[in-house]
């Protein structure tokens, strides 16, 4: 049979090999006769691949040339080994074509040069291929398929496990059901895949696709360029990514996912914490369950979040983690990176840091350094636990402190600074407004800076300041420097403990003092200066009104331009322009209580003496215990009471009859006393005359003379008794006494002259009777004075008993004085419902007492 026909019959399925059978075809080295194939196969199967290739090459080089007709060997069902040239078909229905090929397995095929199909239904086609496994295929050049149903296609591929596939050049599929496709790939894990160039898939069901990727753990995936997955179930996609953790994911370029179930997506990101995430560029998620997003954000704490970017604060072009922001050569708690280092911390924004557990930093260049601290905005720092800094360049340094606004500082425990440039340094203090300062514990400063001297700088006295413990300063340039002090308004100062300055430009410098209004000063302990430009210097003093001064201890000055200089003195009134020049002359026209316990009430009234009383416009009481009542009244001597002055005399009217020895008497009572005295004198004279035989004509003359004198005396007494106040009454009594004395003296002289002519007249007894009359008249004066004093006291008390009474009623006190006698009245008043009221009171003066009661009802 011609060679061509032989080729077509023997290789109906391989027409491409027919040319090998042509008679003129010459093969230079296709014989392995020097090394019997059957023998060499058993040896070949046990040798390493380089050795096998060397042996095959040596056999080819040593064999003589053969013709094409000897190139194929076919076993056609007779179960006998057939040999055709240098190729050998050993298995049933095996085919070996070419040079030095061996088809050893049943139904196997070996075609080409130096191929060996050893497994059942195996195929080795090409150059130096080896198909050892059942149903395996080795096609190409120097490929090996050793596993059941394995396949090696290309050049120098190696499929060494069941259903393994190696396709390309230099690939190794070593795991069961593994696939290695491309160049120099290795798929050693079961069901692994290595596709591309120099990829390694060593884990079960792993995948390495691309260039230089490594999927080293079960279920791992590395796709791209030079990615490496060392964690179970990890995934690396992109370039130069690395996954070290179980189920970690690294996607992008040069990312590292080292934490359990962590994800690094972007470029140069790193996740070290379990379940952490890093998205963006150069982010680091080091804490468990943390996330870093953006550019160079970092999380360190568990559950922390960082969203942001690098901010080159010092301009050196380097991402600094620790900065010397204040230039003291010490690294501060500041960074150019967004960092969330605390557990469950969140940092969002460029160069923001959340460094403590549950801290929050949002914005640009913020630092939340304390537990659950918050820094939100730009340049804020919350360094202590539970503190918050929100706005721009705010700082909190104390636990639980808060700073909101711009350039605020809250450095104490639980304090608050809100606004612009405020400082709250005392524990539990608060500073709000514009450049306010609260440095005392529990203090409050609410206000603003007022440039009082115009120099453009905030001096200490120009800002709202509360430096005392529990002090409160509210308003521009207000200061509460004392403990529990209160300053409210504008430019007020409360410098002492428990002091209060309210209004404008007030100063409360004494402990428990009050300065309220405008320009008032209270320097004494428990003093009060209320109104405008008042001054309370004395301890427990009161200056109320306009330009009033209370210098004495327990003194009180009420009104306009009043002065209370003495201890326990009272000045109530205003300026009295006595000379009409329109100017307040301090020495004479201002209400002044100068003496200790003195009282000056009325415009321009003066109480100069100790315990003196000046009551009325321009009233002067200069003597100790003196009383001047009424306009321009003067009591210039000690223990005197005046209701007028020289040329300004007054009457005292409506005077009740006195009862005690020291009571004042009215004119009616005086007339009655004089009539009784004259009657007694007449009776006595009549008796004496009768006893001594006095001439009736003489007695009548005496009586007539006495009557004339008495009438004149009573008239004069009546005029003086009607003067209208106690001073006039005193002078009237004195004048009446003088008149009585003169009258009695004249009467006595006349009677004595007449009676001395009588034998046996007792002049001494008559004189004693007249002295008794004088004493009774003096007692009547005293009772009148006491009665008037009690009336005045009751009137003063009653006027204040009900007016303005509260729900519990009102206690009122009144004082009165007349003719050297003084009185005090005490009463109580209370409203009954909305329309009715009542009052009760009593007055006391020496041994005299009086009571009153009143009831009122609105119609």
Query: Do 782 and 833 share a structural domain?
Result: no
For 755, the domain range is 667-786
pLDDT of amino acid 806: 67
Radius of gyration (Cα) for the chain, nearest Å?
A: 64
Which of residues 761, 786, 811 is at a domain's end?
786
Residue 440 resides in a domain: no
Is residue 53 situated within a structural domain? yes
Q: In terms of domains, do 725 and 685 share one? A: yes
Spatial contact of 82 and 74, defined as CB atoms under 8 Å apart: yes
pLDDT at position 387: 93
For residue 190, is it within any domain? Answer: yes
Structure confidence at residue 773 (pLDDT): 64
pLDDT number for residue 749: 54
pLDDT value at position 299?
Answer: 83
Q: Are residues 128 and 2 in the same domain?
A: yes
Q: Is there a domain that residue 259 lies in?
A: yes
From 734, 761, 786, the end of a domain falls on 786
One domain, residues 152 and 114: yes
Taking residue 263's Cβ as centre, other Cβ atoms within 10 Å add up to 23
Angle ∠(65,66,67) on CA atoms, nearest 5: 135
**Is there a single domain that holds both residue 195 and residue 96?**
no
Nearest to 368 by CA among 300, 276, 418: 300
What is the SS3 assignment for 479?
A: strand
Residues 671, 762 within the same domain: yes
Burial of 830 (0-12, 13-18, 19+ CB in 10 A): middle
At 244, list the tokens: 């070290």
Q: What is the pLDDT of residue 667?
A: 72
Output the pLDDT for position 453: 72
Which residue is it, tokens 């963006």? 280
- Which of 281, 313, 345 finishes a domain? 281
Contacts of 4 (CB under 8 A, 6+ apart): 18, 21, 22
**CA-to-CA distance for 291 and 280, rounded, in angstroms?**
11
Question: In angstroms, rounded to a whole number, what is the distance separating the alpha carbons of residues 381 and 404?
Answer: 11
Question: Quick one: 682 exposed, middle or buried, by C-beta within 10 A (0-12, 13-18, 19+)?
Answer: middle
Q: Is residue 632 part of a domain?
A: no
Structure tokens at 167: 């396709």
**Residue 408 forms part of a structural domain:** no
Claim to verify: residue 737 and residue 679 sit in the same structural domain = yes
Element (H, E) at 557: strand 556-560
DSSP symbol at 323: B
Tokens representing 308? 């942001």
Q: How far apart are CA 643 and CA 652, in angstroms?
A: 8
Could you state, in chain order, the average pLDDT of each consecutive group of 10 residues for the chain (859 residues)? 32 38 35 32 36 43 36 51 68 92 93 92 92 91 91 92 92 91 92 92 91 93 93 93 92 93 92 91 88 86 81 57 44 64 86 89 90 93 93 95 95 92 92 91 86 72 88 91 93 94 95 96 96 96 94 94 94 77 69 93 92 92 94 92 88 82 71 60 52 45 43 40 41 47 50 49 58 68 71 65 64 69 72 68 71 67
- For 277, the 3-state DSSP assignment is strand
**Location of structure tokens 């009547």:** 780
What is the rounded distance in angstroms from the CA atom of residue 851 to the CA atom of residue 231? 107
| 365 located within any domain | no
- How many separate domains does the chain show? 4
> Do residue 741 and residue 714 come from a single domain?
yes
Apex 471 CA angle, 481 and 422, nearest 5: 80
Q: 28 with 99, same domain?
A: yes
* Whether residues 780 and 806 fall in one domain: no
Query: 493: helix, coil or strand?
Result: strand
Residue at 34 is within a domain = yes
**Structure-token pair, residue 811:** 């206690």
Kindly compute the dihedral angle of the four CA atoms of residues 295, 300, 306, 309, in this order, to the nearest 10 degrees: -20
Q: Are residues 765 and 807 located together in one domain of the fold?
A: no
Tokens representing residue 275 in the block = 């379940």
Report the pLDDT value the prediction gives residue 401, as an integer from 0 to 100.
94
Cα angle value 135/139/141 (rounded, 5°): 140
CATH of the domain at 210: 2.150.10.10
Per the listing, tokens 């104390």 go with: 398
Q: Give yes or no: residues 674 and 738 share one domain.
A: yes
């Amino acid at each position: 049979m011609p060679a061509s026909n032989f080729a077509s019959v023997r290789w109906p399925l391989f027409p491409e090999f027919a040319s090998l059978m042509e008679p003129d075809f010459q093969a230079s080295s296709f014989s392995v006769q020097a090394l019997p194939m059957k023998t060499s196969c058993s040896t070949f199967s046990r040798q390493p691949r380089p050795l096998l290739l060397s042996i095959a090459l040596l056999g080819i080089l040593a064999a003589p040339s053969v013709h094409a007709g000897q190139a194929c060997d076919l076993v056609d069902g007779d179960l006998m080994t057939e040999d055709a040239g240098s190729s050998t078909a050993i298995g049933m229905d095996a085919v070996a074509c070419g040079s030095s090929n061996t088809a050893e397995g049943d139904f196997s095929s070996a075609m080409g040069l130096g191929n060996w199909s050893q497994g059942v239904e195996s195929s080795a086609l090409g150059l130096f291929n080896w198909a050892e496994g059942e149903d395996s295929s080795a096609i190409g050049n120097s490929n090996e398929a050793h596993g059941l149903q394995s396949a090696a296609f290309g050049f120098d591929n190696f499929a060494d496990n069941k259903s393994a596939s190696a396709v390309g050049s230099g690939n190794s599929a070593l795991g069961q059901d593994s696939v290695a496709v491309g160049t120099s790939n290795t798929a050693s894990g079961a069901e692994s895949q290595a596709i591309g160039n120099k990829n390694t898939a060593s884990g079960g069901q792993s995948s390495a696709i691309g260039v230089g990727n490594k999927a080293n753990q079960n279920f791992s995936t590395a796709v791209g360029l030079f990615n490496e997955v060392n964690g179970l179930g990890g995934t690396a996609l992109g370039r130069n990514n690395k996954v070290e953790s179980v189920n970690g994911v690294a996607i992008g370029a040069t990312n590292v996912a080292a934490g359990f179930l962590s994800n690094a997506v972007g470029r140069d990101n790193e996740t070290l914490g379990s379940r952490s995430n890093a998205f963006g560029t150069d982010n680091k998620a080091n804490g468990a369950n943390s996330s870093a997003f953006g550019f160079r954000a970092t999380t360190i704490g568990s559950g922390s979040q960082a969203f942001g970017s690098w901010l080159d604060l010092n301009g050196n072009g380097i991402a600094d983690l620790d900065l010397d922001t204040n230039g003291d050569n010490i690294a501060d708690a500041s960074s150019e990176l967004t960092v969330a280092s605390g557990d469950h911390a969140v940092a969002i924004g460029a160069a923001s840091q959340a460094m403590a557990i549950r801290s929050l930093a949002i914005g640009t260049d913020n630092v939340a350094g304390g537990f659950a601290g918050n820094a939100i905005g730009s340049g804020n720092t919350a360094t202590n636990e539970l503190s918050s800094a929100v706005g721009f360049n705010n700082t909190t340094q104390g636990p639980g402190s808060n700073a909101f606004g711009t350039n605020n500082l809250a450095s104490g425990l639980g304090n608050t600074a809100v606004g612009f440039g405020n400082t709250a340094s005392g524990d539990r203090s608060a500073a709000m407004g514009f450049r306010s300062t609260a440095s005392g514990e529990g203090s409050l400063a609410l206000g603003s800076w007022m440039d009082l001297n115009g120099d453009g700088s905030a001096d200490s006295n120009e800002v709202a300041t509360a430096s005392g413990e529990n002090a409160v300063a509210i308003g521009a340039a207000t200061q509460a420097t004392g403990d529990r002090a209160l300053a409210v308004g504008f430019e007020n100062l409360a410098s002492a403990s428990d002091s209060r300055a309210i209004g404008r430009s007030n100063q409360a410098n004494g402990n428990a003092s009050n300065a309220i209004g405008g320009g008032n000063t209270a320097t004494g302990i428990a003093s009060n200066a209320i109104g405008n430009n008042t001054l309370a210097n004395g301890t427990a003093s009161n200056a109320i009104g306009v330009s009033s001064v209370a210098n004495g201890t327990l003194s009180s000055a009420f009104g306009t331009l009043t002065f209370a200089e003495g201890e326990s003195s009272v000045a109530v009134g205003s300026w009295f322009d006595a000379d009409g020049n329109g100017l307040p002359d301090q020495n004479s026209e201002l209400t002044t209580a100068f003496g200790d316990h003195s009282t000056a009430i009325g415009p321009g009234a003066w109480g100069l003496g100790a315990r003196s009383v000046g009551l009325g416009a321009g009233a002067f009481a200069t003597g100790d215990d003196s009383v001047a009542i009424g306009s321009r009244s003067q009591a210039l001597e000690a223990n005197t009471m005046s209701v007028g002055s020289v040329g300004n005399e007054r009457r005292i009217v409506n005077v009740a009859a006195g009862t005690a020895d020291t009571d004042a008497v009215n004119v009616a009572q005086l007339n009655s006393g004089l009539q009784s005295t004259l009657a007694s004198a007449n009776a006595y004279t009549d008796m004496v005359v009768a006893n001594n035989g006095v001439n009736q004509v003489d007695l009548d003359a005496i009586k007539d003379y006495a009557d004339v004198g008495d009438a004149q005396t009573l008239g004069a007494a009546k005029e003086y008794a009607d003067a209208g106040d106690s001073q006039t009454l005193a002078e009237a009594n004195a004048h009446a006494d003088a008149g009585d004395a003169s009258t009695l003296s004249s009467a006595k002289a006349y009677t004595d002259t007449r009676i001395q002519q009588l034998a046996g007249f007792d002049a001494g007894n008559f004189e004693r009777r007249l002295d008794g009359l004088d004493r009774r008249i003096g007692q009547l004066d005293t009772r009148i004075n006491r009665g008037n004093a009690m009336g005045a006291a009751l009137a003063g008390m009653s006027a204040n008993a009900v007016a303005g009474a509260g729900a519990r009623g009102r206690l009122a006190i009144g004082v009165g004085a007349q003719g050297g006698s003084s009185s005090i009245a005490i009463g109580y008043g209370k409203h009954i419902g909305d329309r009715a009221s009542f009052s009760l009171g009593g007055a006391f003066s020496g041994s005299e007492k009086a009571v009153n009661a009143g009831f009122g009802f609105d119609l």
